[in-house]
Structure 1
């Protein structure tokens, strides 16, 4: 039923509007158990939904935060959303989830709607180099935590950036392959326009330089990703396409570093399509350590992000900014990744 008010709920339950208000605002000690049951039954029957913006005007608080991720088609973002929600629920907050596909206009549209609904804190996971499209909302008072992104020139003064050290992670992955004797190593990414992807590519090239090898000799596969500039959609298919093209070359790579695990799983499928063995003929390393990584055949070597710790930190920093907006200048929190070696990598095959 549209437009149901607390007065209608009160009439249905046979109580006063203030009793309904106490129920909605978490003050059950002010009523008898049977009264709580009647109010709950009336709310269910009438389909009443509290107006969060109106409640914020009355109480000065809104126990809801926003979460904007690129796409939950990548299980990493689904896991992050679950971990963030766990941290938020433990402190009495709820989470509204939006998928932006790293589209600045779509991000701004979601943030406008969240702001209009009285939500004053958002975790933004786009990793875009510029946040200019959301600056008006930040200037108006929106508290923002940027996830999977390091500080960039032009960032808002009070922004908090939280990320794994993507440079270190990609360096660990590439150095592992170099130690196994691989020299023809491909980096499969899609576009390199986002901050996290640029950092992973930087770690890849640094590993070559530290081994006194020319990174210009490595193969970088972007797949002509101008049509889908950030490479989050259909990452597995992107990896499969990359493997198909790379393995058709006369001097094919013996190892592939993929931008994330979903891409790496697609690469592995493409290697099998070519009649080759993953971890034997061609080694593969992913990034994220999603739940599917250990279930793959063979299990995927990958770079593990401390996702539970990062989600908890994102919520705690966001809550602090919401409760005390003037808490100081911007901050960047980098967490160290971990290389998890499984059967998708092995020694470089002999020529």
Structure 2
């Protein structure tokens, strides 16, 4: 039930609004146990949810923004959340984190709940091509920063897009392997329906074309996962990909992975087969998560300047929340190839 007030809860419980307020604000000691029980039952029955914005106005507490990521099971998103929170805390803001698994329905539900809590600014990281599922709230005034997503047709004029140049990043990874003499290069991903993954795939095929190879003959593995995007166990997806690729007619000598977690799973699959990463099969990741340099062998990857991008995402969101920047903005950041031991000359 939406729009339930503290006064309706008080009436249903047979108490004063101040009694309900005491319970909501962590002061249950001011009432009898049976009174507390009645208030809690009324809150549950009516589906009452405290209005965070109103509470902030009364108490003068800090502001809150929302962060929706695919899954913090990938350390990339955990690191991004930490950098964003650091930038927010420095300006007196807190961050509420949600994991959407790139599910539009789940994403919409989270955004609606954040909005009903009085949160008016959200950093959204799903990289879905369409944002129609949350457009009603954007039209009502929700400030939105889309991270890891370039501008798309149909985006609202107020939207901010911040992304690394995924096309260039994937080109850097693929050209590195081509320069090492590899020609049978595989591209491994889950679904390529998200904007960032489409761009990484495009960078891969562009690099092959530039080298005179036919992209139509490229070895591409997108999996048969029941997950629409393969975010929950992307390392397992990489491990499965290696088994399939090694069982095929055209065994690759090198693999470009959609991200570092996938690359680490690929490396594990190569070892499962009794082969050596970097000698028998080269592997390149994308993101440069903290585990990349700790892996054995250390992972060649494409680095995103995550701390700077997170700071910019918060700065852009804060400007819109304070009314200083009502128009949209797009920012594309150049990535960097980091060469480590997981890549070597073609054998």
| TM superposition score category, shorter chain reference | 0.7 to 0.9
Separation (CA, whole Å) in 2 of partners of 1:7 and 1:255? 58
How far apart are the structure 2 equivalents of 1:347 and 1:67? Answer: 41
CA contact (8 A) 1:72 1:78 kept: yes
Instruction: Give the 3-state SS of the residue equivalent to 1:294 in structure 2.
Output: helix
Distance of 1:200 and 1:61 partners within structure 2: 42
The residue matched to 1:192 in structure 2 has which SS?
Answer: coil
- Residues 62 and 119 of structure 1 are in contact (CA less than 8 Å); yes or no, is this contact kept in structure 2? no
Q: Identify which range, 172-181 or 212-221, moves more after superposition.
A: 212-221
- Cα displacement (A) at 1:7: 9.4
Mapping for residues 160-175 of structure 1, pairs under 5 Å: 160-175=160-175
CA distance in 2, matches of 1:76, 1:2: 41
Report the counterpart of residue 236 of structure 1 in structure 2: 235
CA spacing shift, 1:221–1:8, aligned 2, 3 Å: closer
- Give the aligned partner of residue 202 of structure 1: 202
Does 2:281 correspond to 1:282?
yes
- Assess, with a 3 A threshold, how the Cα gap between structure 1 residues 211 and 68 changes in structure 2: closer, same or farther: same
Find the counterpart in structure 2 of residue 148 from structure 1.
Answer: 148
Aligned to 2:105: 105
- Whether contact under 8 Å (2:51, 2:118) holds in the other structure is no
Query: How many residues are aligned here?
Result: 311
1:143–1:325 Cα contact (<8 Å) kept: no
Would you say 1:115 and 2:105 are equivalent positions? no
- Asked whether the 8 Å contact 1:56–1:118 carries over to 2, the reply is no
The 3-state SS of whatever aligns with 1:4 is helix
Question: Per-residue displacement from partner, 1:84-123 (whole Å, max 9, x unpaired)?
Answer: 0000000100000000000001011001111111100000
Contact 1:259 1:286 in 2 (8 A): yes
Is 1:4 paired with 2:4? no
2:93 corresponds to: 93
Match of 1:67 in 2: 67
For residue 267 of structure 1, what is the aligned residue in structure 2?
Answer: 266
Asked if 1:294 corresponds to 2:293, the answer is: yes
Residues 7 and 183 (structure 1), Cα distance of their counterparts in 2 relative to 1, 3 Å cut: closer
Contact 1:62 1:118 in 2 (8 A): no
TM-score normalised by the chain length of structure 1? 0.84
State whether residues 260 and 288 of structure 1, in contact with CA within 8 Å, keep that contact through their aligned partners in structure 2. Answer: yes
1:35 counterpart residue number: none
Q: Any gaps of 5 or more consecutive residues in structure 2? A: 1-18, 31-49
SS in 2 for 1:97: strand
Structure 1: how far apart are the matches of 2:103 and 2:209? 34
Structure 1 vs Structure 2 CA RMSD = 2.3
Distance 1:197 1:75 in 2: 18
How far off is 1:216 after superposition?
1.5
> For each residue in 1:189-245, what CA deviation from the matched residue of structure 2 results, as whole angstroms up to 9, or x when unmatched?
1100000000000000111111121111210101134x2111211000000000011
Report the equivalent of 1:245: 244
2: distance between equivalents of 1:164 and 1:7? 42
Unaligned segments of structure 1, at least 5 residues: 13-49
